[in-house]
Chains A and B, each alone.
Chain A
Amino acid sequence: MTIAAGIGYALIALGPSLSLFISAISKKPFLILTVLSSTLLWLISLIVLSALWRVFLPLNSTTWWPYGLLLFTSIAFQEGLRLLFWKVYKRLEDLLDAFADKVSKPRLFLTDKMQISLAGGLGHGVAHAVFFCLSLLTPAFGPATYFVDRCSQIPFFLVSAIIALAFVMIHTFSMVIAFNGYAEGNKVDQIFVPSVHFAAGLVTLVNFASGGCIVSIPLLYFIAILTLLHCGKMVWRRLAENRSTQGTQE
């Protein structure tokens, strides 16, 4: 695609993440580190998965279920890794709190913890967008464009940018929900995140059908908005609870 269109596609996929980074994360070095380490973790998970699946690839299959299996195992692995990420974070949180006590500084606030989980989610989302969208854009600069047969209304790059944006949203807010769910022991939230991830993954399988993207993209955005709203609701509830407990404490 032309350079103008290329920048456009990149901004569609990563523009909101860039905005989030600039406004919420760039001022706090610890959050930047969190983003980077979370990105790295996600990429490592991909490497491990590809090593495991290498034997079976390429999947020359006209049916969808081998791809479904691939998605299922990958998402399961990544959710497991999210749990691991949480455990590491918990250890880190305890260390930070102990340190704060030692130097008589305040401990981590709830908002701080939420920001950390937001940064973690953003790292995952950015990694997904870079890997699955940006990597397609960079070799494709030139005068031509490309349309896929099964989604012939929209250029291929636009489709991948839109899907990447949806996944950025899903990953970012899922992490907030997940960390909160593990912290509170809230089973609903703990189940919500993996199910949303699985659902999003499976919805992309609809793209195999001719004209499938017309169905799958709205579905994907529905899931993304759902995640966003659930996250918003949870954050609001936690902040309200926190305020009331703080109020009673003070």
Chain B
Amino acid sequence: FSPTQKFPQAEFSPYQNTNYEWNPIGSGIMWNAYNFPVFLLSESSTLTLQEAATKNEKSKKAYTADVAEFDLVMQTTKAGTHDSESCLKERTCLPLGGYSVWSSLPPINFSSPDQSKPVILTVASMDSASFFRDKSLGADSPISGLISLLAAVDALSHVDGLDDLTKQLVFIVFTGEAWGYLGSRRFLHELDLQSDAVSGLNKSSIEMVIEIGSIGKGLNQGVNEFYAHTAGATSATNDTLDALKRAQDSLKSEHIISSTANASNPGIPPSSLMAFLRKNSLTSGVVLEDFNSVFSNKFYHSHLDDMSNINSSAIVAAASLVARTLYILASDNKNLSSSALTAINVNVSLVQALMGCLLDCDPGLSCELVKNYISPTNTCPSHYVGVIQDEPSSTPYLGYVDDVSRFLWNFLADRTSVPRENSSSTCAKGCRNKGEVCVRAETDGKGVCVISTTRYVPAYSTRLKFDSGDWIVLPPNSSDPMGMVDPVWTESNWNAIGLRVYEVQNATYDRLVLLGGIALTVLAYLAIVFTQAFITKALKRD
């Protein structure tokens, strides 16, 4: 039931042991090339097809048969461009990618340049993959982590005195992680370039990376168990583990246990932290997961990883744990009162609302929470990364940014925002002051300017460059070791995709009918001519 490899994306791991099986039930069928199309049918369609097949078996009429016809033209196959480099050159495909979103709580103060607090980066990802492009929900991996992050941001946003914290909290949600860690790699690259997308962040100021991985299956017999997988035994990681312990203690009543992962694991599980470590092996990081040595998700990267695969209480527990841990870390033991800590609580209804919006078709993206921020283009959510259209930039044309990214941007901007004194009217054309962004620009209220540091970061392979309308594949460069093993995934252009099933008649039968019609016409003609001649002869006979 898991069509991906036994060690997903092992080529990006920062450690040598790539034979370790994080996902032992993985079959790897997703990564093979097939020369036939595979359709996933809905329940009703499956029944229709079964009926057609049994009818074919039982049919006594030898001259009819039920056939299936598929309408599926992939431009790369038609044009004969069978790899990414050639198809990008011929413009018959587009590279996989999207827009990651990062936000800082509280907003970064640009007016005081001396201020550069150390940054605690909290990471989650928003994309999944599966054998079927449009059915990648990824409820446990990774959306449960995403919802936890959002709930933690929401809980922390209600805390007083965020400006007095010693450290800066930054939250980032990557996309494209399932297809070669596109989001995290591009983010690190942009940090190197100090581009607009990451202005306000400094590579050296990132002290600690905490990633929330798959946490949706943490509920075991009434107890929520999470495992912290660490990278680097530095003082920062030890502080994080201590903070986790303290947070767990403060949440005693909620049956939450966090433990350190098994030391016999070869390293961290497949996660965005791997990209950070490959870039800089000294990065201090912790990945929070619901499993210890092997995935507890039996449907990793499968179309079956849906809402029934996770538990909302696990998400609430993880979010509470992370929120309090972050508060402990950010206040750096300075005047940490237990009352302040216990005041940090996760909104359970928010978690359930997010689950309904992001993991179900009903209400799906038409739910109240999402419609409050954006006008979604689809109702049924899908967490496939998609392709990156047009030039990647930190201020992309919002029509090319997918619904979930836009929702996350608006949600995070709203939650991490400091409202302005005189909240003015619409900001369709952008906000005048620096450090302000326009939230809810797509809704009927036409948006409001708030002080927030929330940005889009393009997510695409570091091996690609957009140059005047064309995507160019750069040659592998030893300064980018992850780029060297990156397969540079692209998606072919396509138009309509459909499947029809109908009954056909034997061609001989058709020809018989035609012959019959012609014969009938000719016979009738002869009969009429004969009758006419007979009548005229009879009339003349006098």
Q: A residues engaging B (CB < 8 A)?
A: 1-2, 4-5, 7-12, 15-16, 18-20, 22-24, 111, 143-147, 153, 155, 158, 165, 235, 239, 243, 247
B514 and A7 contact, CB distance less than 8 A: yes
Q: How far is the CA of A158 from the CA of B505 in the complex (A)?
A: 12
Residue of A nearest to B521 (CB): A15
- CB proximity of A122 to chain B, nearest CB, Å: 11
- Encode contact with A along B524-542: 1 for CB under 8 Å, 0 otherwise: 1100110010010011001
A111 and B535 contact, CB distance less than 8 A: yes
A11 and B528 contact, CB distance less than 8 A: no
Total contacts A-B at CB 8 Å: 86
Q: How far is the CA of A62 from the CA of B164 in the complex (A)?
A: 79
With contacts A5-B513, A23-B529, A145-B64 known, what are 9 further pairs, Cβ within 8 A?
A: A4-B511, A7-B514, A8-B517, A11-B516, A16-B524, A22-B525, A144-B504, A153-B61, A243-B542
A4 and B524 contact, CB distance less than 8 A: no
A11 and B505 contact, CB distance less than 8 A: no
Q: How far is the CA of A247 from the CA of B542 in the complex (A)?
A: 8
**A residues within 8 A CB of B507?**
2
Subset of 9 A-B contacts with CB under 8 Å:
A4-B510, A8-B513, A8-B517, A11-B521, A12-B520, A18-B521, A23-B528, A144-B503, A145-B64
Known: A23-B525, A239-B535, A239-B538. A4 touches B503 (CB 8 A): no
Residue of A nearest to B525 (CB): A19
Residue of B nearest to A12 (CB): B517
A143 and B517 contact, CB distance less than 8 A: no
What 3 A-B pairs are tightest by C-beta distance, nearest first?
A11-B517, A15-B521, A8-B513
Q: How far is the CA of A19 from the CA of B530 in the complex (A)?
A: 12
B539 and A243 contact, CB distance less than 8 A: yes
- CB proximity of A9 to chain B, nearest CB, Å: 6
Q: Is B515 an interface residue (CB 8 A)?
A: yes
**A residues within 8 A CB of B525?**
19, 22-23
Known: A5-B505, A144-B503, A144-B504. A15 touches B511 (CB 8 A): no
Q: Is B428 an interface residue (CB 8 A)?
A: no
Q: Is the interface of B mostly helix, strand, loop or mixed?
A: helix
Q: Is B485 an interface residue (CB 8 A)?
A: no
Q: Is B29 an interface residue (CB 8 A)?
A: no
Known: A2-B510, A15-B517. A24 touches B503 (CB 8 A): no
- Encode contact with A along B495-523: 1 for CB under 8 Å, 0 otherwise: 00000001111010111111111101110
**A residues within 8 A CB of B502?**
143-144
B64 and A158 contact, CB distance less than 8 A: no
Known: A4-B511, A23-B528. A11 touches B542 (CB 8 A): no
Checking A18, A147, A158 against B513 with a beta-carbon cut-off of 8 angstroms, the contacting residue is A158
Known: A1-B505, A23-B525. A16 touches B520 (CB 8 A): yes
Checking A1, A5, A8, A19 against B524 with a beta-carbon cut-off of 8 angstroms, the contacting residue is A19
Known: A20-B524, A111-B539, A243-B539. A11 touches B504 (CB 8 A): no
- CB proximity of B499 to chain A, nearest CB, Å: 14
A4 and B521 contact, CB distance less than 8 A: no
Please indicate which of the listed interface residues A5, A7, A22, A239 has the most CB atoms of chain B within 10 Å of its own CB: A5
Please indicate which of the listed interface residues A4, A158, A235 has the most CB atoms of chain B within 10 Å of its own CB: A4
Residue of A nearest to B515 (CB): A8
**A residues within 8 A CB of B535?**
111, 235, 239
B516 and A12 contact, CB distance less than 8 A: yes
A145 and B505 contact, CB distance less than 8 A: yes
A16 and B521 contact, CB distance less than 8 A: yes
Q: How far is the CA of A9 from the CA of B69 in the complex (A)?
A: 25
Q: How far is the CA of A56 from the CA of B384 in the complex (A)?
A: 52
**B residues within 8 A CB of A144?**
502-504
Q: How far is the CA of A153 from the CA of B63 in the complex (A)?
A: 11
Residue of A nearest to B531 (CB): A232
Residue of A nearest to B534 (CB): A236
Q: How far is the CA of A23 from the CA of B539 in the complex (A)?
A: 18
- CB proximity of A84 to chain B, nearest CB, Å: 29
**B residues within 8 A CB of A19?**
521-522, 524-525, 528
